[in-house]
Amino acid sequence: APLLALEGVGKRFANTVTALDGLDMVVRQGEFLSLLGPSGCGKSTALRLIAGLADPTAGRIAWNAAEADRRSIGFVFQEPTLMPWASVFSNVFLPLRLAGTSRKAATPAIEEALEMVGLTAFRDAYPRELSGGMKMRVSIARALVTRPRLLLMDEPFAALDEITRFKLNNDLLEVWRRLGCTIVFVTHSVFESVFLSSRILVFRARPGRIAAELEIDPNQPRD
């Protein structure tokens, strides 16, 4: 069974802008799914609806009954939105702290998340000391520290230079293989979606709908 399904999902804003109309799509367990399309076609809206950050105005989002626990979602935005006054370690600790975990109990999970994104040596650094790519790594570690079953990423690398972006693409693939989590990745880069994904849904604009589906490799994880 799929992890979740969007069934006839529509989203209208202020009863004027129709961002999505009759969107049907599934997210399969363990896949790396890209949502590809031009700006304004509703990709971010679809991701936010999946995250439960907004509600659809039509249709529904049906979770696999065994996976319906919404706390098992990590979200990475294009802007890393780190706490500037807190160290890398403390930034990654945040989701566990909010869940009531002590710093001591959280430390192994934080160290592992930092290791996965190559930030072990930077645990005591502050965000202002880090490059854009490093800040994004912190943001990914923070999303992974709770070991979410589903990682949602909204154009995470769009603001980074090409080389940094390529390194992050490679490291993200390794994280995905290692954790076996499901990733839904929003991008308007053809290169990125083909490089990263096991499946791509191509969106068209106004109102947002799926124009094409591209299965890159049904056997996951791929080499």
Residue closer to ligand ADP by CB (options 162, 223) is 162
Residue closer to ligand ADP by CB (options 97, 206) is 206
Q: Per-residue string for binding with ligand ADP, 161-180, x by CB under 6 A?
A: -x--xx--x-----------
Query: Which amino acid, 191?
Result: F
Closest distance of CB 138 from ligand ADP, Å:
19
Residue closer to ligand ADP by CB (options 102, 131) is 131
**From 45, 91, 197, 198, residue interacting with ligand ADP (rule: CB under 6 A):** 45
Does 53 help bind ligand ADP (rule: CB under 6 A)? no
Does 21 help bind ligand ADP (rule: CB under 6 A)? no
Distance CA 207, CA 212 (A): 15
Residues constituting the chain: 223
- By CB under 6 A, what part of segment 24-43 binds ligand ADP? 37, 39-43
Residues 6+ apart with CB under 8 A from 105: none
Residue 44 Cα to chain centre, angstroms? 11
Residues 6+ apart with CB under 8 A from 104: none
β strands within the chain, DSSP E:
4-13, 17-27, 32-36, 58-63, 73-76, 150-154, 182-187, 199-204, 209-215
Does 191 help bind ligand ADP (rule: CB under 6 A)? yes
User: Given the rule CB under 6 A, which residues bind ligand ADP?
Assistant: 13, 17, 19, 37, 39-45, 162, 165-166, 169, 188-192, 195
